[in-house]
Chain A
Amino acid sequence: MTATLERLPLLVRDWITGFFPEPVRWLVSGLLAIVAILAVFGLYFAYLTLAERKFLGRFQNRPGPNRTGPFGLLQPFADAVKALTKEDIVPQAADKLLHFLAPCLVVAFGLISFAVIPFGRYLIPVDLDAAVLYFFAAGVSSELALFMAGWASHNKYSMISAMRALAQLISYELPLLLAVVPVIMLSGTLSTSKIVVAQGGWTFGIIPHWNVLTPWGFAGFFIFMIAAVAETNRSPFDLPEAESELIAGHLTEYSGFKYALFFMAEYFGMSALCGLGVTLFLGGWQAPIDILQVVPSYVWFMVKLSCVIFCLMWVRATLLRLRIDQLTRLAWKFLVPLGLINLGNAAFWHLSADWSGPLQIVRWAISAAVIVIPFVLIGRTLSSGLAPRTYRYAT
């Protein structure tokens, strides 16, 4: 039963490709995989926007969208129809070609990162040897499209936003990469499917061998998630589209469906990046407890992905937006040094792999200390001379 459910998507794919002659089967099976990703993550994106609005509503003591269908469940479709039928206004001064290309490219680059994420035990669109490298190459390309949007609009707000976006994205690219390197060091491969397999197994059947449950893995996950929030331009790092300062940032001159495409790209990018975080640190499609393996692996992947994204929404509802000097300071002076120290931590973890018995406790203590002490010291150094934030009217 479980085995059938596990292979169900593959069975459906093979059944459909069976109708086609042999030479075009690989093309059909490839197209089916792409259409499945588009359908699943398109729907996931639609309900993510609704979930975000609902959760933000609850966080702020209001109901959120609740008029379209039961509990507002039809809201995404209403939004889609609205976006499709809105007039598409292109400013006369804008660079027409780039203005048109930017939303198309930003969606395309957001989508192609999904190609290397293992969604389930047998569900990986393409199993590359250099999957992690490919993911970052695809992800970084969207910076180009964002800048294109800001430049082509010929609007001051868009231009400022594009510059900010570039500074922010390149600043947080480094911590993101540095957080990933320890995982690659210890699993010895760049292939995402092999990294997930390396995290399989349980101690006593209840404690999974996920990377996040080691000191270096926890630090890596921490750095990775902060950088991921910044890379996807979400609050508290939403300087490029700070509504109160820059209208809507690089989206100011976009309307109609092009605007919706930017939102789509943002959520695709967020899902892909969080999916990579789940793959590298949270065990990918592995079940958290041995006996829960009866649930198909792709369900576990989506559950973990949704939990991570819920945390991002929570962060958005809680934290205030940073200033640009604070933003770059956090990246270069805090996350990059911590990431470099974490490399040494991972090396230590590997070299002490055969310590056993009480030495195991010493190993954990040293590894935790290596990351906690710099965390406290750098944090104190950076915050010295800054008074705690005071609130004049709120108590």
Chain B
Amino acid sequence: MTPHPYAFLALFLAVAVAFPLVMLSVSRVWFWLFQPPKPSTIKNGIYECGLAPTGDSRIQFKAHYYLYAIVFLIFDVEVLFLLPFAVAFTGLSAGALFAMLVFILLLVEGLVWAWHRGHLNWK
């Protein structure tokens, strides 16, 4: 019986998740038997170079990260559209190649626009 190839992937994912859990439980058993935890406020505090932490760490994102994420999203989706084209590339006619060239030029145009507007400069 040969199951669907994705059955193997599901099995792999299950084992891959189980592997770190097993390792962590081994170390948990060790603590339970030989090393009972000794928590304290200072030990379980947030590390900030030895001083008491000031303020909240969950601050606002710098807007620039957001900008990069948007540019990335657009480009990544467009590059994903390139993959089916790439698979079919060897059998394509000249007309199809030209259409794809237009698509890639649109991609380039987006990059040139973002570059020109200075969105690619880290500020």
Contacts and interface: CB of A to CB of B under 8 A. Distances in A.
A154 B76 contact: no
A92 B45 contact: yes
Interface string B36-59: 010001011111110001000111
Contacts of B13: 108, 112
A347 B103 CA distance: 15
Contact of B44 (A90, A151, A159, A178): A90
Contacts of A153: 46
A186 interface: yes
A8 interface: no
Contacts of B76: 170, 173-174, 177
B45 A91 contact: yes
B99 interface: no
Contacts of A109: 16
Nearest to B47: A252
Chain A at the B interface: mostly helix, strand, loop or mixed? helix
A151 B61 CA distance: 12
Contacts of B9: 112, 115, 126, 128, 134
Given A85-B30, A154-B58, A181-B86, A104 B21 contact: yes
Nearest to B62: A163
A104 B79 CA distance: 30
Contacts of A312: none
Contacts of A134: 9
Contact of A154 (B57, B68, B90, B97): B57
B89 A185 contact: yes
The 10 closest A-B pairs by CB, nearest first: A325-B122, A111-B16, A184-B86, A108-B16, A170-B72, A185-B89, A104-B20, A185-B86, A156-B57, A188-B90
A343 B31 CA distance: 55
Interface in A248-273: 252-253, 256-258, 261
Size band of the interface chain B makes with A: 35 or more
A22 B1 contact: yes
A46 interface: no
Interface string B49-86: 10001000111011001001101100110011011001
Contact of B104 (A105, A182, A343): A343
Interface in B70-123: 71-72, 75-76, 79-80, 82-83, 86-91, 97, 104, 107-108, 111, 114-115, 120-122
Contacts of A126: 5, 8-9, 12
B53 A25 contact: no
Contacts of B45: 91-93
12 contacts: A34-B12, A34-B15, A89-B43, A91-B45, A115-B8, A128-B9, A156-B53, A157-B48, A167-B68, A190-B87, A340-B104, A343-B104
B17 A257 contact: no
A92 B44 contact: yes
Most buried by A among B16, B62, B80, B115: B16
B97 A329 contact: no
A155 interface: yes
A177 B90 contact: no
Interface string A16-39: 000000110111001101100010
B79 A181 contact: yes
A332 interface: yes
A15 B108 CA distance: 55
Contact of B47 (A155, A173, A332): A155
Contact of A328 (B58, B61, B97, B122): B122
Contacts of B62: 163
B97 A347 contact: yes
B20 A108 contact: yes
Nearest to B84: A190
Contacts of B97: 347
Given A104-B21, A108-B16, A127-B5, A85 B35 contact: yes
A257 B23 contact: yes
Most buried by B among A23, A154, A170: A170
Contacts of B108: 340
Interface string A80-95: 0001110111111100
A49 B106 CA distance: 44
A76 interface: no
B89 A174 contact: no
Given A158-B57, A163-B62, A253-B46, A26 B16 contact: no
Given A26-B2, A87-B31, A189-B87, A170 B46 contact: no
Contact of B120 (A23, A89, A329, A350): A329
